[in-house]
Chain A
Amino acid sequence: MSGRSVRRHVTSGLMTSLVAVLSFTAVFALVLILADLIAKGASSLDWDFFTKNPVPAGQSGGGVANAIVGTGIIVGLAALIGLPAGVGTGLYLAEYGSGRLGWTVRFVADVLNGTPSIVIGIFAWTWLVRPMHGYSALAGSVALAALMIPMIARTTEEMVRLVPHSLREAALALGYPRWRTSLRVVARTALAGIVTGCLVGIARIAGETAPLIFTALGNLNFTTNITQPMQTLPHEIYEYAQGPFEEWHRLAWASALVLMSLVLLLGVTARWAIRQRHGAAR
């Protein structure tokens, strides 16, 4: 082998190792963050954490029951608003989306998907907080729903498009009207995929903080009234992390661990569901 050839092969080997090292660095970052979450959060997860409300600043003890319930309510309400609109848009795109309106909706969905969530917060503030003269959980839910619709629309469309054409033709040949074909045969076949998309969408908005800062605001007390300010886990982490008290930091880490587990659980369930589905299809 000539010197040049040796050099080329050494370069190849070196670069191969370099990209491997870079990959493991990225994975290492994830492991590091998860390890820190568990190390600093797990010890604070006790009965009180889940069942008690916050105590006055500076005192020790207390929990984040208000934030856990608040996250449930705000995210649930957002899903109630966002899922029908998102899935409906997705079905439209897959069934009737070949025209100009379809193109426009698809483009708008992509634009909104890339819009910073804080800007969506301004949207909800203008329409719900300012006219109602007060921060409310409802405004937070609307902001989260607006974030969710474009995401779910695009995944639903993709999933519905995967359904084989022959199924649709068979249903139509049997005399099914088009709407029943679409709902009972096509959407039903794609159901696992659509549900997966919805779960991923919910997981994404459950961790959002930015659109909640000036909509749902946060609340030290326990409330289930959606016209009032309400605390959520992400917002609570944001407040507590920046506060001066050791006790707050402890609660912030524990809340982060809970939030992360929630998001991962939703995401992993979704992934598992879609893998089952596709495995069966092949």
Chain B
Amino acid sequence: MTTLPVDPATTPDAVSAPAPTPTPQAEWRTLRGRNVGDRLYRVTLTALALVLPLLLVTLLAELVIGAWPAIQRFGLPFVWTSVWDPVAGVFGAAPMIFGTLASSLLALLIAVPLALGVAIYLTEFSPKWLRQPIAFLVELLAAIPSVVYGLWGIFVLIPFLRSYVVPPLRAALGWTPFFSGVFYGNSLLAGGIILAIMIVPYIAAVSREVLLAVPANQREAAIGMGATRWEAVWTAVVPYGRAGLIGAIILGLGRALGETMAVTMVIGNRHDISLSVLQPAYTMAAAIANEFSEAVGDLHLAAMFEVGLVLFVITVIVNAFARLLIWRVARGTAVGSRAL
């Protein structure tokens, strides 16, 4: 069982404003009424601050209104049927939802070891002079525009996969359903790898902060009991920040789910469910990018709105969950064992 040695009373406010100040709150109230500038300032800022809630409410409302014809027509089966026929007016989004989840999970599978490796190396093992440069370079990965990743995926990654990665993969694992079929290039595998590179910096940056927040005496105690350096990290540091690390990973998942351009350019955009990572797939974001402005008729457009709504709801839930986990570590209320 681990608890934080942080006293909740020592927040920055309590430190900067020491003991006897005669209730400034009452003073404020009388002053506030008197100055017109103050009122104007407060009203202006409040109006600007209301822009965001208004944006969220209208966004949600318009998604629901736009999707309403499709929701009425297809109901819940929209999310688990897989016929997508704009001409006949039948829509089921299961392949897109499957593709979104599959590509994101594949990305996590690749990105999590990399990102945690970066975070652990930077906080625990690397020489001091290497820390800033490596952290900076990894963060730069997040600055590369999505469309540039897509370009790189088409002309560098896919040819590389075709010549050097897929043939041995198929030779070794071709008998499993996950690596069966012909490889044309654009595929779930290409999408997953591109996504993985894109989310590594996010997971690494948050994980690093979480690990930095682990108090030094966790490490010292483990070393003091005779643990090797790795054992100290693995048994005393990582479990302590577990909730935050999981939060970081889920935050990465949220990014991957909504990522559009790079995935659209390499995943193949085929409306089909296949277990094989070598086959083309489709994601919700990619479908919106490709079909939204070319929707044939009102029902098709409504179906696109509904895809947008599903994507929005999923990402909101995932992000809220991630923030909750990270918050717990940052706030120091319950780390590790209680969260998961």
Give A residues with C-beta under 8 Å from B: 8-9, 11-13, 15-16, 18-23, 25-27, 29-33, 36-37, 40, 84-85, 88-89, 91-93, 95-96, 101-102, 104-105, 108-123, 125-127, 146, 149-150, 153, 164-166, 177-180, 182-183, 203, 206-210, 213-214, 217, 234-235, 237-238, 241-242, 249, 252-253, 256, 259-260, 263-264, 267, 271
Report whether A111 and B320 are in contact in the complex, using a CB–CB cutoff of 8 Å: yes
21 contacts between A and B (CB under 8 A): A23-B122, A25-B117, A26-B141, A26-B201, A36-B156, A84-B48, A85-B51, A88-B49, A102-B49, A104-B53, A110-B323, A111-B320, A114-B255, A116-B258, A118-B289, A118-B308, A164-B16, A179-B35, A207-B143, A207-B148, A267-B140
Q: Are A259 and B49 neighbours in the complex by a CB distance under 8 Å?
A: no
Residue ID in chain A nearest B258 by CB atoms: A116
B316 in contact (CB, < 8 A): yes
A114 to B316 alpha-carbon distance, docked (Å): 7
Query: Nearest-CB distance from B8 to chain A (Å)?
Result: 17
Report if B216 contacts A (CB, 8 A): no
User: Which residue numbers of B lie inside 8 Å of A, CB to CB?
Assistant: 13, 16-17, 31-32, 35, 37-38, 40-42, 44-46, 48-53, 55-56, 58-59, 62-63, 66, 113-118, 120-122, 124-126, 134, 136-138, 140-141, 143-152, 154-156, 197, 200-201, 204, 228-231, 234, 251, 254-255, 257-261, 265, 285, 288-289, 292-293, 305, 308, 311-312, 315-316, 318-320, 323
- Contact pick for B146, options A9, A209, A264, CB 8 Å: A209
User: What is the predominant secondary structure among interface residues of chain B facing chain A?
Assistant: helix
Q: A110-B319, A115-B258, A166-B16 are in contact. Are A234 and B56 (CB under 8 A)?
A: no
Interface of A, secondary structure class, is: helix
Most buried by A among B137, B148, B201, B318: B148
Contact: A252 with B62, CB < 8 Å? Answer: no
Min CB gap B184→A, angstroms: 15
| Complex contact B150–A25 (CB within 8 A) | no
Given contacts A96-B46, A178-B35, contact A149 B52 (CB under 8 A): yes
From A110, A116, A209, B312 is in contact (CB under 8 Å) with A116
On chain B, the residues within 8 Å of A203 by CB distance are 143
Known: A119-B308, A122-B308, A126-B62. A26 touches B114 (CB 8 A): yes
Whether B66 pairs with A23 at a CB distance below 8 angstroms is no
B42 and A207 contacting across the interface, CB-CB below 8 Å: no
Find out whether the CB atom of B258 lies under 8 angstroms from the CB atom of A105: no
Measured CA separation A11–B35 after assembly (Å): 68
